Amino acid sequence: MNSIAASEIKTLKVSIYRYDPLKKEKPYMQDFDIDIPAEKDLMVLDVLMLAKEEDPSISFRRSCREGVCGSDGLNINGKNGLGCITPLSDAVKSNKLAIRPLPGLPVIKDLTVDMKQFVDQYKKVKPYLITDKKVDTKQAIPQTIQEREKLDGLYECIMCGCCSTACPSFWWNPDKFLGPAALLQAYRFIADSRDTATDERLEQLEDAFSVFRCHGIMNCVSVCPKGLNPTKAIGEIKKMLVKRAL
């Protein structure tokens, strides 16, 4: 930052959620004045890394810094998103930026949340191809372009958790309602022409909670950083379940 002339710098007010469960203090918001180049539209992750240079004890996850690994799901000025692909021009309101952990999950430290519940729900939907054939290392299972297109909008999920932690139904019943991310994954395999376990998968989702706690609030759709539509996938599952029950 030293080489930038003062006129090209602006100061951003950044407020970061701090919490260390081993210390006997309540969570609090710590304020930073971060100097940023005026011309460049930095990402929220860039700002977090600048803040960490001032205070190395801030804890958060990051890896690819290009929106594909799903590490840095955060609550940014009240909305869930990925730090690395949320530009300040979208996020900052009145020169203020508040960064909190994803809501609804236990906080390990600062912005780092415990994803166990989220991953457990993912594992429940058997997120892998089930076929009645043995793995064949000599050829691919045939699939038409049209059949493959049904997976578009489903397979791209990066498991960042932005959707499920924005979902009120997941907040109330995180153990029983699978949440949008896991359900999107469930439908990704139901929709795959190569998968032969549709019946088994639907049967597992039939109870009153797993799927039917989705009330179509669509927070998941509005926050998904990959532009995916879990509500639609859940709607498809619901349709199949209803059809099955008739």
Report the Cα 149 to chain-centroid distance in Å.
Answer: 23
When binding is defined by CB under 8 A, the residue of 5, 6, 140, 246 that contacts another protein is 140
H-helix segments, the chain: 44-54, 88-91, 116-124, 145-149, 168-172, 179-190, 198-204, 219-223, 230-245
Shortest separation between residue 13's beta carbon and another protein, angstroms: 23
Q: Is 196 in the site for another protein (CB under 8 A)?
A: no
Name the segment binding another protein (CB under 8 A); options: 53-61, 94-102, 204-212, 238-246: 53-61
Shortest separation between residue 152's beta carbon and another protein, angstroms: 8
Q: Name the strand (E) or helix (H) holding 78.
A: none
When binding is defined by CB under 8 A, the residue of 13, 79, 109, 232 that contacts another protein is 109
Cα torsion for 182, 146, 216, 85, to the nearest 10°? Answer: 70
Sheet order of strands, 73-76 included: 28-37, 9-18, 96-100, 73-76, 79-82
Of residues 164 through 193, those in contact with another protein by CB under 8 A are 189, 192
When binding is defined by CB under 8 A, the residue of 4, 9, 15, 129 that contacts another protein is 129
Name the segment binding another protein (CB under 8 A); options: 7-15, 30-38, 65-73, 168-176: 65-73
Cα 70 from Cα 113, distance rounded (Å): 13
Q: Is 67 in the site for another protein (CB under 8 A)?
A: yes
Please answer whether residues 99 and 51 qualify as being in contact, where contact means their C-beta atoms are separated by less than 8 angstroms: no
List the Cα angle 132/159/67 in 5-degree steps: 125
Q: Is 74 in the site for another protein (CB under 8 A)?
A: no
Cα 212 from Cα 238, distance rounded (Å): 7
Q: Is 155 in the site for another protein (CB under 8 A)?
A: yes
Cα 154 from Cα 157, distance rounded (Å): 6
Cα 174 from Cα 86, distance rounded (Å): 27
Q: Is 39 in the site for another protein (CB under 8 A)?
A: no
Please answer whether residues 157 and 184 qualify as being in contact, where contact means their C-beta atoms are separated by less than 8 angstroms: yes
When binding is defined by CB under 8 A, the residue of 96, 106, 141, 239 that contacts another protein is 141
Name the segment binding another protein (CB under 8 A); options: 5-13, 29-37, 143-151, 233-241: 143-151
Of residues 201 through 240, those in contact with another protein by CB under 8 A are none
Closer to another protein by CB, 138 or 243: give it: 138
The footprint of another protein (CB under 8 A) covers 20-22, 53, 56-57, 59-71, 85, 87, 108-110, 112, 115, 119, 123, 126-129, 131, 135-145, 147-148, 151, 155-156, 158-159, 189, 192, 194-195
